[in-house]
Structures are given as structure tokens and as C-alpha cells.
Amino acid sequence: MKTHPKPAISADSPRDVQKRAPVSTERPTPFTPNSERPDKIPRQWAWHYRTLLRLRERLLSSRADHSSQALAPPEMLGVDVADTSREHADRDLLWAELGAEDDQLFEVDCALQRIRDGLYGLCEETGLPIAPERLRAIPWTRYCRTAAERHEPEPAHKPREANLPHARPPSSA
């Protein structure tokens, strides 16, 4: 087995340290695709872009709070059956909220990217413009209203017409 010799460590003299370029104490600012930076945003989408960035920051903050709460050790686990089941229910709710926040964060990030790509405000299904009122109400939306209605899931429990009183055929007397 070959062993490589370790490089000798030499102490720098104060004169050598002075000759080196000064080291910057500022940390480089990391840019993620959705961090605030001077992007060229079309003027018509500037409000939407700022709104989406603020929403993104709130979601990240909320997500961090919920994560720390969900990962914190239980306070009174095992003291009382009712307390224990309440603690489990609270944790389940936190995990569900984290999942929903992740979904919302994904949609907001996608909307920010569509603004940068020049595709914001166009329905992903039809390619038609999305109504300005809809974009103001739901700035992360991907679809126009008619396309969104097609994408909404059907209600889990849909009453059958035969069971409704007004749907029964009139009785013949």
C-alpha cells in the first residue's frame, strides 16, 4: 500500500501575510433562480413579480416555522392518552401544512420562472391570455378560468339525483 507524504506546513511570517492580497470579509451573495436580483421584468408584470416574491418569502418563513415545530420532540408524550393523541394529531396537521406549503412554493416558483421566460399570463393549456383580474387574484395561476375548471377535481361525494326529493317521478294516483 502506497502512502503519500504529507506536505510540510510552514508558518507564514508577518511579512509574507502582508504581501498577500487582502481577503474580503463580505460573503458572496448566493443567487437562486428566485432570489431578488435585478432581472429585466416586463413592466406589465412588475406588480405580479413583486407580489410573488413577497409570497415566496412568507411561504419560506412559514415553512421554516412549521418544520421546526414538526421536528421538535414532543413535550408531554405518554402523560395522558388524550394528550398523546392530540400531540399526534397536531403533528399530522403540521406535516400536511408542510406538504401544502411545498406545493404552493412550487407554483410560485414556476410563476416567477414564467415571468422571466416571457410566458406569464398565457394559459398553459390553451395558449390564450389569462384575464388580468384572475392574475391579480391568483398570481401563480397557470390556466385561464375555463381550463382551470376542467382541471379541478370532481367532488368526492356527489349526491345522486335519484335520492333527491325533487328528482323523484310524481306518483300517479
Q: How far is Cα 147 from Cα 126, in angstroms, rounded to an integer?
A: 7
In this predicted structure, what is the pLDDT of residue 26?
44
Rounded Cα gap, residues 39 and 53, in angstroms: 12
Cα(42)–Cα(129) distance, integer angstroms: 16
Q: Which H/E stretch holds residue 52?
A: helix 46-71
The partner residues of 129 in beta bridges, in order of sequence, read 122
Query: What's the pLDDT band for 88 if we cut at 50, 70, 90?
Result: confident
Work out the pLDDT band at 16, boundaries 50, 70, 90: very low
pLDDT of 80 reads: 73
More confident residue, 114 or 23: 114
Contact yes or no for 98/39 (Cβ under 8 A):
no
- The DSSP output letter for 75 is S
Would you list the domain boundaries of the chain? 39-119
CA-based R_g, the chain, Å? 29
Q: What is the pTM of this model?
A: 0.59
Alpha-carbon gap, residue 107 to 141, rounded angstroms = 8
Is the pLDDT assigned to residue 7 strictly greater than 50?
A: no
- The candidate with the shortest Cα–Cα distance to 142, out of 158, 156, 126, 155, is 126
pLDDT of 156 higher than 90? no
Query: Would you call 104 exposed, middle or buried from its count of C-beta atoms within 10 A (0-12, 13-18, 19+)?
Result: middle
Residues 28-77: tens digit of each pLDDT: 343 445 454 546 888 999 999 999 999 999 999 988 887 877 777 766 55
pLDDT in tens, 102-138: 999 999 999 999 999 999 999 999 999 999 999 999 9
pLDDT of residue 70: 75
Residue that the C-alpha cell 458572496 belongs to: 28
